[in-house]
């Protein structure tokens, strides 16, 4: 609401409301004092409200992203008071922030002048605020939202009596818990606190006790302060927008050269990079580059950017050109100086470069065959990223086919001479296979902890043409049940 008024999107006078899609259509989310004076409450359906009140009501759609951005701007501003500023999360309705003033209040001459100063500045900026200062974040939140006045300062150790008189909503509980407590006649924090903890936890879960203890200061509540902006970032603006691929590549190289000393100083390299191209008309193009190994060489980064732009081709759509190019290191990894082997090219270096080149040029990762501990053949192998260590392969397995099908392909028209033995002849892939040699069976049981299934009897067979197949019968032989045969793989 304040954001709308400050941005000039809403008139300064007249009842104003923000509505969002809720159960059963649009519902009111926030109201200004004038709208509140009309008897409106958040959560009411907008249609009913419009029908009830006679005066025109200004309604704006909710925009949680802009609200969040505005809150973060305010938090940044509030960092002037103390370094640890944490915006409210979802549990606190995301409409305020905490300032941890411990050890910082003396800079403003004590706690009271600090709160006065904060309130004064916010009021001058037309931001309505309720401020509370207490021992714990939970206590401060409760007093700010449900306290007696706009400005509450609780002396150290005095939070508990002040909190006892507050309604249970002040504990940052979910609505279900609140209504449950009210149904039991528990309206005040003090009444809840006086009860035995065991039954309370059983009835309402751990969350209630956690919130209670956090407010009372019996359990610590760490704040999640605003994260710092990425330290490894470089940007370059252009008077004349650039639009040619070579220019972008050169810019990327220069930006990386700017970042590289900072990375080197900290002993790290970039594993992930983000190149943001700001087009003149405000469109942003974001290229995310992943590297297989920490890297800080500008030339290699430029080569990868070039490959990526190659792949994008016309998809980049430079339009009237890019006016700003930003390079940010999004993922870092330790990269210490290495001694290179004299004379010989170190093993694996070339593969790194190749893997990155393929990833940028084709957008496809390089994989490595990996073993998995499973008896079921189709589960026993799966590809992994090539950077992972080679998995140990069991060396005591009976022969396995060179190519394994993801699932067995049915062998039809099976003719066997011995009912429990391998087939003599069958049709598979529109071709009759006459078996001249068979080895087996190798029985592989199903993994009951994944999915129940029948054990399979595998046979290695060679047909007249010399093709070697891996056949299995689904389930052991049983009289009266026709055997189902499947081809699961082909040997070299």
Partner 1 sequence: MGLDPANQTGRASATGSPRERLASLRARLAGPGGPAAARPVLPLGLTAIDAHLPGGGLALGPPHEIAPMEPADAIAALGFTLALCAAQLARTQGAALIAAAPNQPLPHGHGLAGLGLDPGRLLLLEAGGDAEVFRALEAALHARALPVLIGLLADGLPLKPGRRLQLAAEAGSEGAAPPLVLILRPPQAGLPNGAATRWSIASAPATRDRFGTLDNPRWRARLERCRNGRGGDWLLEWDHAAHRLRLPEPLARDAAAAGRSRA
- Kindly state the smallest distance separating residue 467's Cβ from partner 1, in Å: 5
- Kindly state the smallest distance separating residue 440's Cβ from partner 1, in Å: 10
**Binding residues for partner 1, total number by CB under 8 A:** 50
- Kindly state the smallest distance separating residue 25's Cβ from partner 1, in Å: 46
Asked if residue 234 lies in contact with residue 259, where contact means CB atoms within 8 angstroms, the answer is yes
Q: What is the 3-state secondary structure (H, E, C) of the chain?
A: CHHHHHCCCCCCCCCEEEEEEECCEEEEEEECHHHHHCCCCCCCEHHHHHHHCCCCCEEEECCHHHHHHHHHHHHHHHCCCCCEEEECCHHHCCCCEEEECCCCHHHHCCHHHHHHHHHHHHHHCCCCCCEEECCCHHHHHHHHHHCCCCEEECCCCCHHHHHHCCEHHHHCCCHHHHHHHHHCCCCEHHHHHHCCHHHHHHHHCHHHHHHHHHHHCCCCCCCCCCCCCCCCEEEEEEEEEECCHHHHHHHHHHHHHHHHHHHHHHCEEEEEEEEEEEECCCCEEEEEEEEEEEECCHHHHHHHHHHHHHHHHHHHCCCCCEEEEEEEEEEEEECCCCCCCCCCCCCCHHHHHHHHHHHHHHCCCCEEEEECCCCCHHHCEEEEECCCCCCCCCCCCCCCCCEEEEEEEEEEEEEECCCCCCEEEEECCCCEEEEEEEEEEEEECCCCCCCCCCCEEEEEEEECCCCEEEEEEECCCCCCCCCCEEEEEECC
- Kindly state the smallest distance separating residue 425's Cβ from partner 1, in Å: 16
- Kindly state the smallest distance separating residue 362's Cβ from partner 1, in Å: 5
**For residues 183 and 396, which CB has a smaller minimum distance to partner 1 in the complex?**
396
370 sits near partner 1 (criterion: CB under 8 A):
yes
376 sits near partner 1 (criterion: CB under 8 A):
no
Please report, as residue ranges, which positions from 392 to 451 form the binding site for partner 1 (by CB under 8 A).
393-395, 397, 399-404, 429, 431, 436-437, 439
Choosing from 465, 479, 480, 481, the residue that interacts with partner 1 (CB under 8 A) is: 465
**For residues 81 and 470, which CB has a smaller minimum distance to partner 1 in the complex?**
470
- Kindly state the smallest distance separating residue 299's Cβ from partner 1, in Å: 15
Choosing from 72, 391, 455, 474, the residue that interacts with partner 1 (CB under 8 A) is: 391
Choosing from 77, 88, 238, 386, the residue that interacts with partner 1 (CB under 8 A) is: 386
50 sits near partner 1 (criterion: CB under 8 A):
no
Choosing from 50, 340, 467, 478, the residue that interacts with partner 1 (CB under 8 A) is: 467
**For residues 124 and 396, which CB has a smaller minimum distance to partner 1 in the complex?**
396
- Kindly state the smallest distance separating residue 373's Cβ from partner 1, in Å: 12
**For residues 245 and 391, which CB has a smaller minimum distance to partner 1 in the complex?**
391
88 sits near partner 1 (criterion: CB under 8 A):
no
**For residues 226 and 353, which CB has a smaller minimum distance to partner 1 in the complex?**
353
**For residues 284 and 362, which CB has a smaller minimum distance to partner 1 in the complex?**
362
CA dist 279 and 350 (Å) reads 35
- Kindly state the smallest distance separating residue 198's Cβ from partner 1, in Å: 55
Asked if residue 26 lies in contact with residue 45, where contact means CB atoms within 8 angstroms, the answer is yes
107 sits near partner 1 (criterion: CB under 8 A):
no
| Helices 175-183 and 197-204, axial angle in degrees (round to 10) | 130
207 sits near partner 1 (criterion: CB under 8 A):
no
**For residues 194 and 436, which CB has a smaller minimum distance to partner 1 in the complex?**
436
346 sits near partner 1 (criterion: CB under 8 A):
no
**For residues 246 and 388, which CB has a smaller minimum distance to partner 1 in the complex?**
388
Please report, as residue ranges, which positions from 306 to 345 form the binding site for partner 1 (by CB under 8 A).
345
484 sits near partner 1 (criterion: CB under 8 A):
no
Choosing from 149, 227, 336, 347, the residue that interacts with partner 1 (CB under 8 A) is: 347
The contact set with partner 1 (CB under 8 A) reads: 345, 347, 349-351, 353-354, 357-358, 361-362, 364, 366-371, 377, 380-381, 383, 386, 390-391, 393-395, 397, 399-404, 429, 431, 436-437, 439, 460, 462, 465-468, 489-492
């Amino acid at each position: 609401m304040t954001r709308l008024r400050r941005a000039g999107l809403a008139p300064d006078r007249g009842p104003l409301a923000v509505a969002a899609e809720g159960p059963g259509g649009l519902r009111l989310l926030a109201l200004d004092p004038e709208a509140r004076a009309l008897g409106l409450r958040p959560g009411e359906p907008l249609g009913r409200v419009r029908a009830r009140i006679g005066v025109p009501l200004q309604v704006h759609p909710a925009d949680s992203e802009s609200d969040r951005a505005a809150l973060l701007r305010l938090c940044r501003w509030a960092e002037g008071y103390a370094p640890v500023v944490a915006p409210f999360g979802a549990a606190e309705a995301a409409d305020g922030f905490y300032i941890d003033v411990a050890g910082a209040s003396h800079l403003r001459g004590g706690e009271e002048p600090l709160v006065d100063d904060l309130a004064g500045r916010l009021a001058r900026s037309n931001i309505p605020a309720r401020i509370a200062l207490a021992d714990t974040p939970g206590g401060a939140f409760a007093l700010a939202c449900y306290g007696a006045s706009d400005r509450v300062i609780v002396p150290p150790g005095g939070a508990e009596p002040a909190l006892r008189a507050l309604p249970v909503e002040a504990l940052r509980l979910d609505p279900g818990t609140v209504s449950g407590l009210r149904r039991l006649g528990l309206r005040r924090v003090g009444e809840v606190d006086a009860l035995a903890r065991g039954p309370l936890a059983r009835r309402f879960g751990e969350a209630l006790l956690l919130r209670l203890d956090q407010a009372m200061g019996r359990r610590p509540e760490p704040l999640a302060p605003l994260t710092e902006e990425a330290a490894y970032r470089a940007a370059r603006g252009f008077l004349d927008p650039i639009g040619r691929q070579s220019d972008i590549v050169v810019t990327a190289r220069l930006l990386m050269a700017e970042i590289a000393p900072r990375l080197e100083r900290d002993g790290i390299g970039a594993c992930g990079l983000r190149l943001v191209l700001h087009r003149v008309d405000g469109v942003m193009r974001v290229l995310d580059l992943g590297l297989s190994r920490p890297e800080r060489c500008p030339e290699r980064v430029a080569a990868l950017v070039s490959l990526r732009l190659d792949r994008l081709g016309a998809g980049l759509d430079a339009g009237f050109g890019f006016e700003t190019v930003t390079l940010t290191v999004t993922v870092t990894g330790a990269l210490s100086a290495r001694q290179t082997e004299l004379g010989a090219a170190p093993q694996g270096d070339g593969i790194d470069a190749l893997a990155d080149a393929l990833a940028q040029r084709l957008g496809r990762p390089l994989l490595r065959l990996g073993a998995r501990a499973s008896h079921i053949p189709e589960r026993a192998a799966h590809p992994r990223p090539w950077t992972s260590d080679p998995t140990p392969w069991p060396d005591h397995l009976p022969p396995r086919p060179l190519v394994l099908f993801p699932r067995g392909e049915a062998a039809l028209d099976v003719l066997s001479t011995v009912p429990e033995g391998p087939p003599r002849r069958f049709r598979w892939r529109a071709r009759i296979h006459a078996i001249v040699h068979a080895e087996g069976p190798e029985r592989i049981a199903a993994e009951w902890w994944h999915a129940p299934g029948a054990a399979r009897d595998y046979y290695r067979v060679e047909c007249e043409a010399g093709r070697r197949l891996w056949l299995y019968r689904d389930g052991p032989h049983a009289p009266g049940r026709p055997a189902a045969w499947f081809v699961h793989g082909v040997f070299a």
